């Protein structure tokens, strides 16, 4: 069974870049048909898909965030990463990493990222 | 982008009663719809995919139905552990994958 774990700073200053990594265990990032994705949830609000990446390099971003998002995969470390640039307070949220064929079946526990000076 | 709309926003139900949650898509998503359960402080958990297929380990009291633009999640007899927020998500037209805004099921 896959397990996913997010890691990264819990506090980011406005205008800086939010960087998170998701470590996958229980399976190989490159050995499955999963898309590896990021989803966020502002405090008290709903879920927003950020983007998804396939190990071979196909990447899809939410059009609403596309200009600020970069995702990558490191198959040697069985990890994938998220960079979100020029953050504002509106980017404060719990960030989840997840695996998806088309629906999201495995999730990390989530990590709260607060944007504040 | 397909917009998913859930109703009601909050559903108050007594333990042992049936709960019926609705999800509407702004255009047809065929049967490419999933439901998730989220408890406070936890990640969402996949309940249903393909509109009606229960995910591994999900109790039979959870059932999904519908196709096209109208979908329903039914919890046949609410248990204490079922009080949570439920989200629908379409995966027919992507990107973007889109979620509904959620329905909170609370104890009456």
Kindly state the average pLDDT of the residues B68-91. Answer: 97
CB B38 within 8 A of CB B88: no
Which chain A residue's Cα is nearest to B55?
A105
pLDDT digits (tens, 9 = 90+) for A20-50: 999 999 999 987 788 999 999 999 999 999 9
Residue in the structure block whose two tokens are 């108050």: B12
CB A73 within 8 A of CB A59: no
Residues 30-89 of A with CB under 8 A from B: 37, 46-49, 51-52, 60-64
Min Cα–Cα distance to chain B from A100, Å: 10
pLDDT digits (tens, 9 = 90+) for A51-85: 999 988 799 999 999 999 999 999 999 999 999 99
Taking all residues of chain B, what is their mean pLDDT, rounded to a whole number?
97
Distance of CA B52 to the CA centre of its chain: 10
CB B34 within 8 A of CB A104: yes
pLDDT for residue A26: 92
Beta bridge partners of B28: none
User: What is the percent of chain B with per-residue pLDDT over 90, rounded to a whole number?
Assistant: 96
Token pair in block for residue A81: 């990463």
Which residues have CB under 8 Å from B102's CB, separation 6+?
Answer: A46, A47, B6, B9, B38, B85, B86, B87
CB A107 within 8 A of CB A14: no
């Amino acid at each position: 069974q896959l397990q996913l774990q997010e890691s990264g700073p819990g506090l980011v200053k406005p205008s800086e870049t939010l960087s998170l990594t998701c470590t996958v265990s229980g399976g190989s990032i490159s050995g499955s048909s999963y898309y590896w994705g990021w989803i966020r949830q502002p405090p008290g609000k709903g879920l927003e898909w950020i983007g998804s990446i396939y190990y071979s390099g196909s990447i899809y971003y939410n059009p609403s965030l596309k200009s600020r998002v970069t995702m990558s995969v490191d198959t040697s470390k069985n990890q994938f990463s998220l960079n979100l640039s020029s953050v504002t307070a509106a980017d404060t949220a719990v960030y989840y990493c997840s695996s998806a064929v088309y629906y999201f079946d495995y999730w990390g526990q989530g990590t709260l990222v607060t944007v504040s000076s | 982008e397909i917009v998913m709309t859930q109703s009601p926003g909050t559903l108050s139900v007594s333990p042992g009663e049936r709960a019926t949650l609705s999800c509407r898509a702004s255009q047809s998503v065929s049967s490419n719809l999933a439901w998730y359960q989220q408890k406070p402080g936890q990640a969402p958990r996949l309940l249903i995919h393909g509109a009606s297929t229960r995910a591994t380990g999900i109790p039979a009291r959870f059932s999904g139905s519908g196709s096209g633009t109208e979908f329903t999640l039914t919890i046949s007899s609410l248990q204490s552990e079922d009080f949570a927020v439920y989200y629908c998500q379409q995966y027919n037209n992507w990107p973007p994958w889109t979620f509904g805004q959620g329905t909170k099921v609370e104890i009456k």
